[in-house]
Amino acid sequence: MEYTVQKREKSHVAFIVTLDNKEWSDCQKGAFVAYSRKFKIDGFRPGKAPFELFVKRFGIETINEYAVEFAYKKYYEKIINEVGYSQSNTDGIVIMLSYSPLVELISVDENCAKFSIEALHYPNIKLANYKGEILETEKPVVSDEDVQEEIKYDLDKVSRVIEISGPAELNDEIGYIQAFEDTVTAPDGETKIEVVTHEGVDKLDNIILTNRYENKSLNTLCNDTLGKNVGDIVTWYNKSNDGEKKHLLKICEIKRKELPAQDDEFAKDVSEFDTFEEYKADVKEKLLKKKEKENQHNALKKFMGKIIETSEVEIPDEFVKFDFDARIQELKDRFNKTNSSRSGEKFTISNEMKDRCFEQSKASVRAFLVTSELLERMESEEGKFDEKIEKKFETESPEWWAMVKGQLKDATERRRRELMRELKMGMVTEYLGTYNEYKEIESPKEEV
């Protein structure tokens, strides 16, 4: 197998592949085995007719039509392994693997067969400057409220749950049991309506008293439960497809989280410090470092956005169309999943939504192409870039990285490269910090 590379307009590239007589004959026979089941010949089960009889019945052109597809699948991997993964190769081509190439048979004679594989490659990009910049970051500020919010996590670790009779307060855990209105006859013969519970009725799932549920009826139930005691009855109006239904619920338990005092003993239980003040100072220091990293990350994201916006890149129409089609398909799939029970309702999309998706696709493709180019530059400049990234993953997220390594081990060579590229693409913005410096500035004061 031999091939030549022809660069064409708008990021198109064609591989002109030449197979000798034996290689082409092997592809014809391989295609016959793979695809002959699709054809029916009287007297033979699908796929069992002899090759010569198949050719006589359907013509060599039919075999060739499938043979070129077979040859593409057999040889394309080898071609892109040689030229398609790095811009450091002599042709400067990086193939867009997610785009399905166009395959066309050019000629077949007694000596050889020629066919073309037309693919898309990443366009040439003139990157904006990404080195030696001063990135302004806000000076980290941690308030007493921030420290207290962080301390709450440790308080929860050593808290205990107690059962009380009431009254119920926000964040209490409430248990209910279904209650019913029943006619009760008194000793004097008088009848009246009372709310009762029946034996054998299961307790409902507990809920936490809060007003932040998405379900409005649950928020109403929580509000009605506030201030109530064990044994009290509350009314819950639950909306369903059949309309609104009234439920009577009896409060059967109230659980409350009891937090320890914020003192030296608490500090000893949750940290390496002997006093609460030392523990609190450590919490504040860690929050400052965390906010410093967050501010640096925000500065890098802003800088990355500037690089994407000001880099010069000619975006191929096929790239945008590929992304646009995927967005529309995602909307359609989401619609079908949500409306699967509604018969006769078809997916439609407005021109306004199409325009919005198209603009999002252009922005997404631009960001992807510029990020890809940055990754190529970093890999060529840094040396052992894979090792540095892997060491970072292993240090910061060892369990996650162990899982990913398992996936990489079981994947094909091509899939391994794709997975590693995806991981490294996600690190490009953060790695920009090694090329630039940070300068802290005072946070802008909020206007009162």
Scan for tokens 């091939």, then name that residue.
3
DSSP string, 117-180: EEEEBPPPEEPPP-SS-EEEEEPP---HHHHHHHHHHHHHHT-EEEEE-S---TT-EEEEEEEE
- The one-letter amino acid at 303: F
292 and 417 together in one domain: yes
Q: What is the pLDDT of residue 296?
A: 93
pLDDT reported for residue 448: 40
Q: Say what the pTM is.
A: 0.67
Burial of 63 (0-12, 13-18, 19+ CB in 10 A): buried
- At residue 93, the pLDDT reads 62
Residue 417 contacts residue 85 (beta carbons within 8 Å):
yes
pLDDT at residue 445, as a whole number: 58
- Domain assignment present for residue 322? The answer is yes
Distance CA 271, CA 281 (A): 12
For 76, the domain range is: 2-122
DSSP state of 432: G
What CA–CA distance (Å, rounded) separates 58 from 50? 12
Can you give the pLDDT at residue 81?
76
- My answer on whether 297 and 244 are in the same domain is no
- Residue 9's pLDDT is 78
- Answer with the one of 73, 105, 122 that is the final residue of a domain: 122
In a domain, 101, yes or no: yes
> What is residue 241's predicted lDDT score, i.e. its pLDDT?
64
pLDDT digit string (tens) for the chain, length 448 residues: 999 888 887 778 889 999 999 999 999 888 888 887 787 777 787 777 888 888 888 888 888 988 999 999 898 888 877 775 443 333 456 676 667 788 999 998 888 999 999 888 778 789 999 999 999 999 999 999 999 999 999 999 999 999 999 899 999 999 999 888 776 666 776 766 677 777 767 788 899 999 888 888 888 899 999 999 999 999 888 776 667 788 889 999 999 999 999 999 999 999 999 999 999 999 999 999 999 999 999 999 999 999 999 999 888 888 898 899 999 999 988 888 776 655 667 888 899 999 999 999 999 999 998 998 898 888 888 777 778 888 888 888 899 989 988 888 888 877 787 788 888 888 899 888 888 898 988 766 554 4
Instruction: Give the C-alpha distances (Å, rounded to integers) separating 80 from 83, 173, 342, 369.
Output: 5, 60, 46, 19
Which of 103, 114, 226, 95 lies closest to 172, judged by CA? 226
Q: Which of 100, 122, 144 is the last residue of a domain?
A: 122
CB atoms within 10 A of CB 127: 16
Which CATH number do you get for residue 108? 3.30.70.1050
- Which pLDDT score, from 0 to 100, does residue 396 have? 84
Among 122, 146, 171, give the residue marking a domain's end: 122
pLDDT of residue 43: 78
The C-alpha atoms of residue 119 and residue 414 are separated, in whole angstroms, by: 17
Neighbours of 345 (CB within 10 A): 11
**175 and 107 belong to one structural domain:** no
H-run or E-run covering 384: none
364 falls within a domain: yes
DSSP per residue over 49-88, as a string? S-HHHHHHHH-HHHHHHHHHHHHHHHHHHHHHHHHSS-TT
> Is there a single domain that holds both residue 299 and residue 433?
yes
**For residue 319, which of 85, 7, 11 has the smallest C-alpha distance?**
11
Contact 318, 122 (CB under 8 A): no
Do 236 and 317 lie in a common domain? no
Residue 226 covered by a domain: yes
Looking at the domain assignment, is residue 309 inside a domain?
yes
Half-sphere exposure of 335 (CA within 13 A, CB side): 13
> Cis peptide before 167, with omega less than 30 degrees from 0?
yes
Task: Examine the domain organization and report whether 111 and 184 are in the same domain.
Answer: no
Residue 139 lies in a domain: no
